[in-house]
Structure 1
């Protein structure tokens, strides 16, 4: 009798997992149809946006690592830096110039040059660290955040 109960419990679990997969696939198909019809159906929370941004950042780094032969042709350094800063902002973490340079894998001078250009264009904002005047914090501007969220909302994942 115990073996029948165990087999029944296993079958119930299998059916439950199958139903969950059906629901996921149904949502993917529905979302895909909405995008095909020109409708934007994603309206995510901060956690959803972090997940989407992290997937996009991971994909970009994977693309660069796979295709780039050291010449930088497939690198999206500014985009990756913006995404990284955006993710940290959603997680309420402060980002320094040196930390973003290190995480993006580009030289500090190049990162500083890109950051300065993005600050001039209103995409990023700098603020002084009140406890250490040598350190500067970087954040995406409200306008840049809005643009990133628009892009992430329409991403196909």
Structure 2
């Protein structure tokens, strides 16, 4: 997991954790917009975080053009541990 907590990986993980806590979902395109960096950069980070087992992408059953991105159980656990360790959770 070395290097995952620099920009924009941390932003992606934090956005997904906040969405989880709010009970909302983020589309891949929304993650790209919110990060404020080129979409190609975000897509590379999403792929890396997916390979690390921290998030996954899932197609929308109602619209095949849309894909959602969510934290895995490992991703949720990691974010809870990190945020708990710094006293923000």
How far residue 120 of structure 1 moved from its aligned partner, in angstroms, is: 1.2
Establish whether residue 131 from structure 1 lines up as the match of residue 62 from structure 2. yes
Q: Return the match for 1:145 from 73, 76, 88.
A: 76
- Runs of 5+ in structure 2 lacking a partner? 1-5
* Structure 1 residue runs of 4 or more that deviate by more than 4 Å after TM superposition: none
Give the TM-score normalised by the residue count of structure 1: 0.50
The root-mean-square deviation of aligned C-alpha atoms, in Å, is 1.2
Q: Return the match for 1:84 from 5, 10, 15.
A: 15
Give the TM-score normalised by the residue count of structure 2: 0.86
Q: Which one scores higher on RCO, CA 8 angstroms, separation ≥ 6?
A: 2
Q: Find the structure with the greater CA-based Rg.
A: 1
- The count of corresponding residues between Structure 1 and Structure 2 is 83
1:17-59 deviation digits (Å, cap 9, x = unpaired): xxxxxxxxxxxxxxxxxxxxxxxxxxxxxxxxxxxxxxxxxxx
Q: Distance in 2 between matches of 1:105 and 1:133?
A: 25
Residues 156 and 90 (structure 1 numbering): CA distance in 2 closer, same or farther, change over 3 Å?
closer
Q: Distance in 2 between matches of 1:79 and 1:86?
A: 10
Q: Distance in 2 between matches of 1:117 and 1:156?
A: 27
Q: Distance in 1 between matches of 2:56 and 2:83?
A: 21
- Runs of 5+ in structure 1 lacking a partner? 1-74
Q: Distance in 2 between matches of 1:127 and 1:89?
A: 15
Higher helix share: 1
